[in-house]
Amino acid sequence: MRRVIIACGGTGGHMSPGIALAEELVSQNWECTLLISNKQVDSRLVKKYKQFEYESVDGRPFSVRPDRLILFLYSLLRGTIKCSRIIQKRRPDVVIGFGGFLSMPAMLAGFFAGLPTVIHEANRVAGRVTRVVSLFARRIYLPKGVGIRTKRSSRIRYLGMPVRNEIRSLSKTTAKRKLGLNPQQKLLAVMGGSQGAESLNKWVKSSLPSLAKRDIQVFCLTGGSGADGSMTFRSSKGEEVKSLFRKFSDEMATVLSAADLVVSRSGAGSIAEMMRCRVPGILVPYPFSADDHQVANAQNFEMLGCGMQMSQDYIGNMLEEVMDVIYNEWLLQKFRRNLELADRTDIQGFMVSDLERIITGGMGLSAGSKQGVQA
143 in helix, strand or coil? Answer: coil
Q: What share of the chain is helix, strand, coil (3-state, %, to 5)?
A: 45, 20, 40
254 within domain boundaries: yes
How confident is the model at residue 323, as a pLDDT? 96
What domain count does the chain have?
A: 2
370 within domain boundaries: no
Clarify whether residues 91 and 207 are in a common domain: no
Cα–Cα distance measured from residue 346 to residue 27, given in angstroms and rounded to the nearest whole number: 15
Residue 4 DSSP code: E
Clarify whether residues 333 and 191 are in a common domain: yes
Own/partner pairs, 59-66, CB within 8 angstroms, 24+ separation: 59/10, 59/101, 59/102, 59/104, 59/105, 60/101, 61/101, 62/101, 62/128
Q: What percent of the chain has pLDDT over 70?
A: 94
How confident is the model at residue 374, as a pLDDT? 53
Domain boundaries, position 271: 172-341
The stretches in the chain having pLDDT less than 70 are: 151, 193-196, 224-226, 362-375
Residue 37 DSSP code: -
275 within domain boundaries: yes
367 within domain boundaries: no
Clarify whether residues 155 and 237 are in a common domain: no
83 in helix, strand or coil? Answer: helix
How confident is the model at residue 100, as a pLDDT? 81
280 within domain boundaries: yes
pTM: 0.90
Give me the DSSP letters along 258-288: H-SEEEE---HHHHHHHHHHT--EEE---TT
- In sequence order, the β-bridge partners of residue 54 are 34
Helix or strand (DSSP H, E) at 221: strand 216-221
Clarify whether residues 22 and 126 are in a common domain: yes
88 in helix, strand or coil? Answer: helix
Clarify whether residues 304 and 184 are in a common domain: yes
Report pLDDT digits (tens) over 16-62.
Answer: 999 999 999 999 999 999 999 888 777 777 778 888 999 999 878 77
Clarify whether residues 78 and 226 are in a common domain: no
Clarify whether residues 215 and 238 are in a common domain: yes
Clarify whether residues 199 and 335 are in a common domain: yes
374 within domain boundaries: no
Cα–Cα distance measured from residue 41 to residue 44, given in angstroms and rounded to the nearest whole number: 5
CATH number of the domain bearing residue 67: 3.40.50.2000
CB-CB contact of 281 with 264 (8 Å): yes
Helix or strand (DSSP H, E) at 233: strand 229-234
Burial (CB count <10 Å: 0-12, 13-18, 19+), residue 48: exposed
Clarify whether residues 177 and 131 are in a common domain: no
How confident is the model at residue 197, as a pLDDT? 77
Clarify whether residues 253 and 290 are in a common domain: yes
Clarify whether residues 52 and 126 are in a common domain: yes
369 within domain boundaries: no
How confident is the model at residue 198, as a pLDDT? 85
76 within domain boundaries: yes
Clarify whether residues 95 and 184 are in a common domain: no
19 in helix, strand or coil? Answer: helix
How confident is the model at residue 369, as a pLDDT? 43
If you count them, how many residues does the chain have? 375
